[in-house]
Chains A and B, each alone.
Chain A
């Protein structure tokens, strides 16, 4: 039914959209205007461009290619622990990058578990610094994301098709040809583009595992130009380059991508009749086991190393943890104040607005936003004094596309189900939010707030640009400890960071579910 007027006031949402657009585009403009194009790009810059694209391509290809067998195995096998594993596939999203890097170092590093085993056999140790280290970390983060996206594709194939296939006597090969490959053909480009865009703008991985002339991404080059040379012109030039690349990648990703892997219903197993052969079952079991090990072992390593280092945590780490929690709370507040009106306006409007916000959020990298804000703030105030508020703001902007994607479907449901009743009762403005929207959206708001808080808690991006030596958030403090080769203390800080991130997510998410009516 074409309802004439909708009860939700669209003005605050448009206001939020304009605010975000002004902030993102304003910083981009500041960056572009400041860029000193006269000098052009040097060989080091071109090398950074090549490295950025190459590592993103390889990471995306590997993540998606490995995710296909994992998703296929998960879609057709019921086993104990399947629910936990599928839930765990969502965990890297809220896992602080620096914590994961520490876990990967503990397992795959020069002194890591695998190297030690290799050493016993008289073989040289592994090294995870440089190209393959960056790719390893990106696959660690994006294999689970790609698996969830592709698993969703499998679950969207109607169960009747598989029953029909069984009646027609299809084997695994026939099912793959008729049912699975067409599905993959429609899902994979989006998954690939999304992972590619994420890897293009990821900073913390390159900061910790990259570096040097052969393994510097554009993001890292911006950081170095800014931090080491204080060459704002060059930082701005690199940032302009990054905007162009990431903007193209993000628009391509959004064109192809669907729900972003937050879709529910991944805990169903499709009954299958075509894949019961012994060797297929064994193969699926192996794939699931390997994927689970790849995900779980680095996390276990973080916990084990962290427990040992926990006693070494000093005052600096606790103070950093306190600052991080404050930043995360502030950031989550900004996030909700922007995301809720924005999502409400999107829910009652046509598409378009969503896409714009999505592109802006995906294309805007922390370093580009940070550089832009620095250029804008520099003439007015001391940017370093504003490090924490700026970090909170940038984190909120970066989490915004995810929060909006979580909130919009629920808000659409609320408007569809209760819009007419609210209108006929003349529920408007704040009363509409207080009495209808907020109570009905508690779960989604809790989930979005949890994601936002955890992302902000673990963020190692703009804070690295702005922080002075006296001040650090927990991820930055951990990075400094690692840089000073205090690996045990870093591991202790890592465990604290991991626990705080998960605890924040859990508190918000459970807070949304607690006594929520359905």
Chain B
């Protein structure tokens, strides 16, 4: 279980407070107005922003001072999730060994992951030579081989069309179910949240609220969420 224990994150003059627990093996949507701190929350969990107060605990271990690569986290950003000069297979392989010195077994794992997300024939392509949806699939294949218990999505599918975005989100939730990972995804679309999220973390007024069951929150939105949803 991921526990944010009275955490304060400072990002410039902006401050975000969180005191909550994230249950395992669930999909959680992070929802809230622009600039409320959704990305800040994810960046703090991933280790890109330091916590100025409080601790972040993972299964009882304090990970507040761990480097991003040493955390139980695989994260997808808004863009730049693939290195453009490496093939899809190499990009996925980085999830197993950062120096890319892969054994035959590891190469097999990479192939199976690409196969799993539907890119079996495109292993040797570079990102520029495949579509946006296929790029997202390749990034997800890497998340799959990273096999981390926490998957953070900072709107990686925002540039895709609505139908493709839903396809990707479904793929994410399938992969998470297969690996038993917990997913935290920033979302602007309540419909997306209803579709795949078990729970919602509302981020508003400099505070990340404790997760609430999706239907419960969206059916009876508190004032802060009502203003945002309109």
On A, residues with C-beta under 8 Å from B are 1-5, 417-418, 420-421, 423-428, 430-432, 434-436, 439-440, 516-518
Contacts and interface: CB of A to CB of B under 8 A. Distances in A.
Contacts of B47: 4-5, 423
Interface residues of B, number: 31
A421 B80 contact: yes
Contact of A417 (B43, B74, B80): B80
Given A1-B48, A2-B12, A425 B80 contact: no
A431 B67 contact: no
B83 A2 contact: no
Given A1-B43, A1-B48, A440-B85, A423 B99 contact: no
A421 B73 CA distance: 12
A4 B49 contact: yes
Contacts of A517: 84-85, 126, 128
Contacts of A516: 85
- Most chain-B Cβ atoms within 10 A of its Cβ — which of A430, A439, A517? A517
B48 A4 contact: yes
B77 A420 contact: yes
B142 to A, nearest CB: 8
Contact of A439 (B68, B77, B85, B146): B85
Nearest to B11: A2
A435 B73 CA distance: 21
B46 interface: yes
A431 B48 contact: no
B230 interface: no
Contact of B100 (A418, A424, A431, A440): A431
A435 B48 contact: no
Of all A-B residue pairs in the complex, the 7 with the closest CB atoms, nearest first, are A426-B69, A431-B99, A517-B85, A423-B68, A427-B98, A439-B85, A417-B80
Contacts, number: 80
Given A436-B83, A440-B85, A423 B67 contact: yes
A424 B74 contact: yes
Given A4-B47, A418-B83, A424 B73 contact: yes
Nearest to A435: B100
Interface in B68-91: 68-70, 73-75, 77, 80-81, 83-86
B69 A423 contact: yes
B225 interface: no
Contacts of A5: 47, 67-68
A431 B70 CA distance: 16
- Most chain-B Cβ atoms within 10 A of its Cβ — which of A425, A436, A516? A425
A435 B84 CA distance: 11
Contact of B75 (A417, A424, A436): A424
B32 interface: no
Contact of B49 (A1, A432, A518): A1
A424 to B, nearest CB: 5
Given A1-B43, A3-B48, A424-B75, 10 more contacts: A3-B49, A4-B47, A418-B83, A423-B47, A423-B68, A423-B69, A425-B94, A427-B94, A435-B99, A517-B84
